[in-house]
Structure 1
């Protein structure tokens, strides 16, 4: 395999260019290719070439590490974080050494990094209810300070040099002190093992029994519970989404850095042999997938299940599968003005919370009866502007919408937390796509992954489907969007349409799209079913594909494509004409689901006709 080959090869085909999902992909006609890496922290052109992307790192000296550990074990987290922040920023200034600007900077000295056990504890502080939703006065900024340090560590040292793979490993529910180990070797080559094997150990329940990495069986279970909170416990989702965004950033940057090192090492070695990607096999994301293998679970089924947790109306099985991570996690303080007794003892290490966890101070109704859970406010699905090209900047992201009132014209919405989670689900899908291609023993083929994921998107309720479709441009590269959209659209189209392989075999062999394929095989048809919802989904998929293709080659197709667009619009309208009933629910005044689907279909048809005017 060539190192410049896209990761998106279709495993069942012989050509290595199928299913474009990564950088450095040669674009076929009509399919745009993205050359950006996943969340690359610094572009090469933004800095002198001899300066590394991340700083080298070194272990904390024994005295400083012991000093920090004492603060942590005495639950003086703020001084410990301030100490670590100062050590991280120390020596980060570029020093002048004469000559032109490109030659005036010398490398900063290695950053001093705490052991993985300390980093793991800080991550627990960012999400533990004691420091987030069950705040006491002296803990009201610990979670924010911890996250600030972790993000600074990720940006400065990077995930590989900071040994985040060791710090962020789940222990599968076993209290075995897995984070209290000696440091291993680092890619920077300047970190040696600790002389005292036990010096990295941290005492206390927050480092062991109450550690996030001990409480959750694996990453996918923690993510599933986070998505549960996005639907049923918004006060917890407020904090889980911060943690989840950080973890996705870590997974992406860890993958990027390891992929670049594998490619560089392979280029310096024997370029004739296929690259085995040894660094990627030791990535954090590969470890999370391997956790499921060790539990003898079907990896593809489990990851897809967690990615689509709590996005549809049938959430009973998800509630059984994804349980809360911490004890009584959903409890919220209802009174903080209660006068505390003089003999009240607060000792987190010994699980003594004084009267902060008294029944009078917390509301447990949310966990007693799921049917009475408070639902978050709905986020309105954005409208496309009439009569204008639905440009990306004109499409308001559902994540930034603060509307909590139903649109007077009947626009329907989804819970705000679910809308915020969609880009995270899509970013994790791209990592899965990478893993299915690059790892020598993948958890599934790229073909099966795309087919399974597209099938779940297609089966989602129309508002969720629309969010998945319209959030792709912000969460995925363009070529990934086109590949995924084609997979979704093909599942909605009838089987008796022209075969793309007969129309454009060259582009179809790499699972690409061309305008002639769109004209003859996709645009002129209605959905295979007569439901308004499926026809609306098909129209949305076609609309977004055309937008991506138009941004690649504006104005090329001509009148034939415009005719195919109009034929398809009329075919979909005729398909559902006899089944549509515009009724309103008497109790709530909300639109019937079929009526809502018709509104989406009409709006998408207007957007498609905009393309007719510009082609």
Structure 2
């Protein structure tokens, strides 16, 4: 009904028909709630979750976040009550109460616990707690990640569109994303670090302790089917519509024994878990993931951070942060302070993940922002290397040749030198894409000298390494050589 009303009259001047805001909050909960997704075999419930997601996507596309009321609907209860405890069990007011008081509409409350005590907006502390938990799921709970992934994609579409809308009229501080940043607080740098911990959540015990599940037992699988004898012994509840007692309707076990759900369960139980491929985690089973963790074998490569889809969403969040800070430095941080925090968290990342952020397959930052971030990251890595300190933050070919290309990392070891090589390559690509490169001898000499001194630095590092550390250094050496070959290819094209 909602979808039909939304699309009726398209192509005419008639306004779109949409429900009150609390319906959007309710539907957003259904899209990810485990009782409608990963903890049920009921096909009707799973279809309801998919339909709710599809409807919200239609609203964003056809009406927009601000005009539809999504911005007002997608507010976390605790974020609007800063003087209360963060303990979710202490929350006594629900989303409907807030809607009646603050969203200024006169509509009947939704009589469902998924709109009140089980609502996502009431259960989660704030947006960043959900982000951290979702990215933890991308590493250790792939079945939950499939639902959180589509929810995050929807939220990023809404946040981006709303931010650009406010940018046009100069009211960035009133944007939805600025409101989510306000929940972090203004008590210093440490509270702002929480954003980066959420964006880089990696499923480790510390990350899971800080960003835990939204709903109790969320990661468990579907409930087992009840046998016929158990169903006969089940006492049927009384139906009293006048007093809001719906009997067995809405019972979590209802529909579990339908033929459709039984067939679905039999098919899923016989399916073989797929192996983890190169970064695409959409087919990863929890069984295969658990077997890896059980043997205490740490995930490596992009898999350590949830694969390519997870990393793509992480970079989109970083880009959104940069965009807001560039548009309104006083709303949260100015870009220099933001990149300083980026440096603190990105520099120690594993090499494969570090490379994804600093030299991505597709740029996620505009040229000026990427250049500024790279130059900030260079400072700690080139310290002690003899490279001149450059603080102007304006990238030119002359600056590239004199301050970055010909140097190795200040410390020994293959990992740091591979990181320097990847960042030099990223700057070279950036200049190439923006027409800032001119083919000349000095450019080739600077790049070749850098390649040579980094190789020598690694070759003369006298520390002996064994086991995982030795493997890490070998992989760093291969990545450094691959980066050098790509830079030589760019120079050959330029010539």
Scaled by the length of structure 1, the TM-score of the pair is: 0.65
Aligned to 1:126: 31
The match for 2:409 among 527, 532, 546 is 527
The answer on whether the counterparts of 1:532 and 1:594 sit within 8 Å (CA) in structure 2 is yes
- The structure-2 alpha-carbon separation of the partners of 1:115 and 1:334, relative to structure 1 and needing over 3 Å to count, comes to closer
The match for 1:161 among 67, 85, 108 is 67
- The structure-2 alpha-carbon separation of the partners of 1:295 and 1:221, relative to structure 1 and needing over 3 Å to count, comes to farther
The root-mean-square deviation of aligned C-alpha atoms, in Å, is 3.5
Aligned to 2:295: none
The answer on whether the counterparts of 1:231 and 1:376 sit within 8 Å (CA) in structure 2 is no
Aligned to 2:314: 425
Aligned to 2:488: 609
- The structure-2 alpha-carbon separation of the partners of 1:348 and 1:533, relative to structure 1 and needing over 3 Å to count, comes to farther
The match for 2:372 among 451, 476, 483 is 483
Is 1:237–2:138 an aligned residue pair?
no
Aligned to 2:9: 91
Residue segments in structure 2 that go unaligned for 5+ positions in a row: 79-87, 238-245, 257-272, 289-299
- The structure-2 alpha-carbon separation of the partners of 1:203 and 1:296, relative to structure 1 and needing over 3 Å to count, comes to farther
**2: distance between equivalents of 1:164 and 1:216?**
18
- The structure-2 alpha-carbon separation of the partners of 1:179 and 1:482, relative to structure 1 and needing over 3 Å to count, comes to farther
Aligned to 2:164: 256
Q: Secondary structure at the match of 1:319?
A: helix
For residues 116-172 of structure 1, the C-alpha deviation after alignment (integer angstroms, 9 at most, x for no partner) is 110000000000011111222321211111111001100111111011121100012
**1: distance between equivalents of 2:119 and 2:221?**
20
Aligned to 2:383: 494
Aligned to 1:147: 53
Aligned to 1:20: none
Aligned length: 443
**1: distance between equivalents of 2:378 and 2:23?**
48
For residues 160-211 of structure 1, the C-alpha deviation after alignment (integer angstroms, 9 at most, x for no partner) is 10111211000124342334525979xxxxxxx64xx3x2421221110100
Aligned to 2:471: 592
**1: distance between equivalents of 2:466 and 2:188?**
49
- The structure-2 alpha-carbon separation of the partners of 1:416 and 1:148, relative to structure 1 and needing over 3 Å to count, comes to same
For residues 246-304 of structure 1, the C-alpha deviation after alignment (integer angstroms, 9 at most, x for no partner) is 111111111011111x1xxxxxxxxxxxxxx3x32221111111122289995412212
Within 5 Å, which residues of 2 pair with 1:80-119? 83-94=1-12, 108-119=13-24
- The structure that is helix-richer by fraction is 2
Q: Secondary structure at the match of 1:332?
A: coil
Within 5 Å, which residues of 2 pair with 1:382-397? none
Q: Which has the higher contact order (CA 8 A, sep 6+)?
A: 1
**1: distance between equivalents of 2:156 and 2:487?**
35
Q: Secondary structure at the match of 2:125?
A: coil
Aligned to 1:468: 357
Aligned to 1:333: 222
The match for 1:552 among 426, 429, 434 is 434
The answer on whether the counterparts of 2:39 and 2:223 sit within 8 Å (CA) in structure 1 is no
